[in-house]
Structure 1
């Protein structure tokens, strides 16, 4: 498996060589630089997505490319690794994109719709490890959208609670952490 992190990219010759050989992309993301520096969940996301690709679809390890987003907020449409994954899909690399959960793709309802439709319009399937979605099934799409609304709400609550906690600490003369 090829793992691309940070500014690592395939050159055009490598992309051409992989056409027809690469079956899937794995997109993994953590939100903060602290999570990235402490190796929270990146490795487990890669392993779970890889396991799904191999066990459910019989892909081989050397048919997969993992794209790693370290410190990319889920509501930011300008995440370099996500945009690079979309670029590779447009070039024809991958029949499927494997993502642990919809909240790893995005935590914004509007962005979820834009990115999902873009991927599906390329003829690429989105395979979430922890969530089933079928773009041709209205009930499945309803649940997909509800789940994204919950993720967006959870993010807003976390931010509001964190801000309130920092304000309380500051009023007590304590140094708020960020």
Structure 2
């Protein structure tokens, strides 16, 4: 589907921004990450983006494991996006869109295909920037990795054991972590991922990037040892 261009003269017509918030009972009880907190963060970001909040979409009390069909406000948001009513969607965190990588990736891809940018306050994701596009590419790779791991577990005959004890195979790339709900963004590693990405764009070879990280005393995430070109590639 051809992308719908964003409004070109932003000095005349400001960005039309939607805010999407979601909280399940468990989220609010465990993290205190209620609707009001999310709204405050998203409205502050809308001011930074110099846009007008034209709609708030609130899926209160609904789990992020539910699809669009079972989230009425998300469904309304997607209808408004398809109708060309919005330029940007702001969320407090990526897990407000969903609780697994594939749900998040599917929603982001569908929004960006319509020419709508996505901004996440927590992860500093902005799909209108090169770094944001890079993170989106990583999500696509992770979704494929997750699918490949499922196939491998089935082929190896380990799917029954995986269902029994929650085992999940395969390495997770830097910047992400795995929990009971699948592969999710690891906020603690986000700064390091952005640093590597910026170094890569210098341009620099993988060896150059490894040397810089070693000189700066940055430990590798998994072993805490020195960086090598192969470590950066992974």
Which TM-score applies when normalising by structure 2?
A: 0.48
Asked if 1:128 corresponds to 2:120, the answer is: yes
Alpha-carbon distance in structure 1 between the residues aligned to 2:14 and 2:22 = 25
Q: Residue 131 of structure 1 aligns to a residue in which SS? A: coil
The residue aligned with 1:153 is 179
- Aligned partners of 1:147 and 1:51: how far apart in 2? 29
Cα distance in 1, alignment partners of residues 43 and 76 from structure 2: 19
* Map of 1:71 onto structure 2: 61
> 5+ residue gaps in structure 2?
1-12, 143-172, 183-234
In structure 2, the residue matched to 1:100 is: 92
CA positional deviation for 1:101: 0.6
1:46 matches 2:39: yes
Alignment gaps of 5+ in structure 1: 1-19, 157-178
TM-score, scaled to structure 1: 0.61
RMSD: 3.1
Structure whose residues are more often helix by fraction: 1
Q: Which residue of 2 aligns with 1:25?
A: 18
Contact 2:14 2:50 in 1 (8 A): no
Superposition deviation, residue 30 in structure 1: 0.2
- Say whether the 8 Å CA contact 1:22–1:65 is kept in structure 2: no
Kept after mapping to 2: 8 A contact 1:112/1:148? no
Greater gyration radius: 2
- 1:141 is matched with 136
Aligned residues: 131
